[in-house]
Amino acid sequence: MSKDNKNSNLRIIICGIIVVLIFCGFTIRLFDWQIVNSEQYKEISAKSTSYTEVSDATRGEILDVNGKELAVNKTAYNIVINKIYVKEGEINSIIIRLLELCDICNAKWVDALPIDIVNGALTFESDSEGSLSYITGESMLNNEELSNPDDILDALAKRYDADTIEDLTVKRNVVSVRYNMERSGYSYSQAYIFAEKVSSDTVAVVSEQTQAIPGVEIRVTNERIIKNGSLIPHILGVVGSLSAEEYEANKDNGYDINDVIGKFGIESALEEYLRGQSGEKTIVKDENGNIISETESVKAHPGDTVYLTIDSNVQAVANYSLQKNINRARAEGESEVRAAKAANKSQKERLGEDCYCGGAVMISTKDNSVIAAASAPNYDISKYYDSDYNAWLNTHEHSPMFSRTFDGSFSPGSAFKPCVALAALQEKVITKNTAIRCTKHYDYYPDDIVNCMGTHGSINLHSAMTVSCNYYFAETGRRLGATTLYMYAEKFGLGVKTGIEIDESVGVLAGRDSTTWYEGNTVQAAIGQSDNTFTPMQLATYMSAVANNGVRYQTHMVRKIVNYERDEELLYNDPKKPVVLADAGISKDHFKTVKSSMRSVVTSGTATIVSAYPKAVAAKTGTAENAGSDHVIFVCYAPYDKPEVAVAVVLEHGAKGKYAMYTAMDMMDAYFYNKTVKQVQSKGWG
């Protein structure tokens, strides 16, 4: 090989080595950029080029069926720190200045640090264990040996370059803000909310200083306002900040850690409609950090407006009358107890002195839309986030937040008998003329003896319904059988969910849901006892199905959903086109027989109090034995010949059915005659 060829090959090898080294350098650099220090370089890139800023979403509003406001938005102002405009090393001085301004204006800032200063010494807040575990854990200090507030504050101060601040209060407050900034994801795309819903005076003071305090902005936001917190608290629900669990479950759906979400009720059930969509703004900076352009890249879309089927006036009357009649039942019971004690009589029965709770429902028989749904004791959901009020709610003896209407499950007592009668007629185990001799004590099954309130002798279906003869229906239930009985009960909406948009109990159907069952239990189930327990909402749905000759519609409480501007309809539950969930498949002649008997209950039976009502009412009363005074149940529909509404009222431990009837009549007055609470107060029933 010639000397020239050798030199040529050597140059090629050297060039190849140089090229390989260059590519290796690029590879190492790319690995450093994309893997090792990717987050650091992303932030540098964002700061020096462009970034995306997210705006808050406007939540949709909730109105009643007539457009009366229930949960709406009010303009509020937040003080925020926008990282895009903050220079390195200035954040602590900005925080100190904002703390001073808040102190001058007596404004509250977001203080999340679980360490307080008491009498000049640091101390842990009560119930701070979870937050402290997070601070000392891997996510932050990664030092679980830190166990006293002084050491933890010192470690955090060092982390946030606040360890040179001499004033303990100032140091502690700066650390609190920095800690919450880190926890809430403060970044170029996520501004930090320093203070929420500040006053107009605070806005004015801070606005004057914004030029001198870089990165501080006043942002307009929407505050959720509940117009009447005690009207439908169990239906409406609340919105609140995302919990850690909710964020993990929803982050892939576009939720940010600082977003709010519906917690329960309609606010939760219709979250996808109410939520709205955040907007995005792309901001571009030059190499010196100066902003050169701002562009709206994603337009914000407010949430949709929900119209409920609730009539605020009927609901207000239901709330008032239910509580009033609970109080009356208890007062009468207490009076009778005192009288019995004064007369030295032994009190074997409870007389209603323990009546504190109940539920009342009215639905339209046209489409099973919920007109009113009251639960007692009631509460004010607008105070839900008030710590003292919330503590009272959670320790109240009778649990106001528990909805007796949707979640309370009660034995229906004799209110179950129309279902038994209809099933027995259709299955031909009786006819309308079948006579059964009542001898007071039904003892076909010695272990399941049913006692009747009277000795009625030979009695047919019409008379048995009118006087509510337990003997008659026990024998009818025995002939029918448990399996057949609960199959019909399901078709009427008992022991199944009604379809309402919010959470509800499924209830219990005797036999189907019972853990143990004996043949003799059927006779107890047939008079509405045994394991049978249903919600007031299910009982109203059942009455509507009776009124509609066995056709059961889906019960619901949303009339329509429109866009925020209210000029585009997105969903409409047409009252003329109800959703049919079941048909009992029972002859209209059998319904005619049972409905006539239910009308007789009012005209000459156990509900003669209601015979005074101006419109004809078909009804059934019920009394259910349990620990304490008996529960009382009243179910009805009206008008009798052309039904419009179905009503169910349950008074826990009410003892006397008249107070449930008075509640139902007050509610019907509000519906049929537009009576208000004031009118019912001055001239209600009873």
Least confident stretch, 22-36, 336-350, 612-626:
22-36
State residue 130's pLDDT score: 72
User: Residue 545's pLDDT band (boundaries 50, 70, 90)?
Assistant: very high
Asked if residue 498 belongs to a domain, the reply is yes
Asked if residue 226 belongs to a domain, the reply is no
State residue 217's pLDDT score: 87
Asked if residue 229 belongs to a domain, the reply is no
Residues 651 and 551 in one domain: yes
pLDDT, mean of residues 657-665: 98
Cβ atoms of residues 420 and 434 within 8 Å: no
pLDDT, mean of residues 187-210: 87
State residue 632's pLDDT score: 98
Residues 216 and 320 in one domain: no
State residue 608's pLDDT score: 98
pLDDT, mean of residues 170-177: 94
State residue 475's pLDDT score: 98
Asked if residue 267 belongs to a domain, the reply is no
State residue 6's pLDDT score: 55
Domain end residue (candidates: 187, 221, 255): 221
pLDDT, mean of residues 520-528: 96
Domain end residue (candidates: 221, 254, 273): 221
Residues 504 and 644 in one domain: yes
Q: Is the pLDDT of residue 672 over 80?
A: yes
48-87 per-position pLDDT tens digit: 466 565 667 889 999 999 999 999 998 888 999 988 888 8
Least confident stretch, 52-66, 404-418, 420-434, 439-453:
52-66
Percent of the chain clearing pLDDT 70 (strictly above) = 89
Would you give the DSSP letter of residue 635?
A: E
Residues 438 and 562 in one domain: yes
Percent of the chain clearing pLDDT 90 (strictly above) = 70
Residues 200 and 336 in one domain: no
Q: Select from 222, 216, 181, 188 the least CA-distant residue to 79.
A: 216
Asked if residue 166 belongs to a domain, the reply is yes
Q: What's the distance, Cα to Cα, between the start and end of the chain in Å?
A: 124
Asked if residue 307 belongs to a domain, the reply is no
Would you give the DSSP letter of residue 32?
A: I
User: Residue 145's pLDDT band (boundaries 50, 70, 90)?
Assistant: confident
Q: What is the CATH number of the domain that holds 651?
A: 3.40.710.10
Mean of pLDDT over the chain: 90
Residues 490 and 610 in one domain: yes
561-606 per-position pLDDT tens digit: 999 999 999 999 999 999 999 999 999 999 999 999 999 999 999 9
Q: What is the enclosing helix (H) or strand (E) of 195?
A: strand 192-195
- Number of domains composing the chain: 2
State residue 441's pLDDT score: 96
Q: Which residue has the higher pLDDT, 91 or 32?
A: 91
Would you give the DSSP letter of residue 629?
A: S
215-260 per-position pLDDT tens digit: 898 888 888 999 999 999 999 999 998 888 898 899 888 888 778 8
Q: Is the pLDDT of residue 47 over 60?
A: no
Domain end residue (candidates: 221, 256, 283): 221
pLDDT, mean of residues 407-414: 97
Q: Which residue has the higher pLDDT, 142 or 544?
A: 544
105-123 per-position pLDDT tens digit: 999 999 989 999 999 999 9
- CA 404 – CA 376 distance, rounded (Å): 7
Residue identified by tokens 């009410």 is 654
Asked if residue 35 belongs to a domain, the reply is no
Q: CA separation (Å) from 293 to 49, 52, 56, 189, 281?
A: 11, 12, 21, 16, 10
Q: Which residue has the higher pLDDT, 337 or 674?
A: 674
pLDDT, mean of residues 127-136: 81
Structural domain harbouring 469: 312-682
Asked if residue 58 belongs to a domain, the reply is no
State residue 209's pLDDT score: 79
In sign, the C-alpha dihedral spanning 157, 158, 159, 160 is positive
Residues 394 and 542 in one domain: yes
- CA 442 – CA 520 distance, rounded (Å): 11
- CA 573 – CA 569 distance, rounded (Å): 11
Least confident stretch, 22-26, 183-187, 202-206, 547-551:
22-26
Q: Select from 150, 147, 257 the least CA-distant residue to 193.
A: 257
Q: Is the pLDDT of residue 33 over 60?
A: no
Least confident stretch, 186-190, 336-340, 593-597, 681-685:
186-190
Residues 215 and 90 in one domain: yes
Residues 487 and 605 in one domain: yes
Residues 644 and 530 in one domain: yes
State residue 64's pLDDT score: 98
State residue 16's pLDDT score: 67
What tokens does 144 get?
């679980």
Residue identified by tokens 């109080």 is 327
Q: CA separation (Å) from 63 to 17, 266, 306, 666?
A: 75, 11, 6, 24
Residues 214 and 327 in one domain: no
Residues 198 and 329 in one domain: no
Question: For residue 352, what are the contacts with CB-CB under 8 A and spacing of at least 6?
Answer: 329, 330, 332, 333, 336, 629, 653, 654, 655, 656
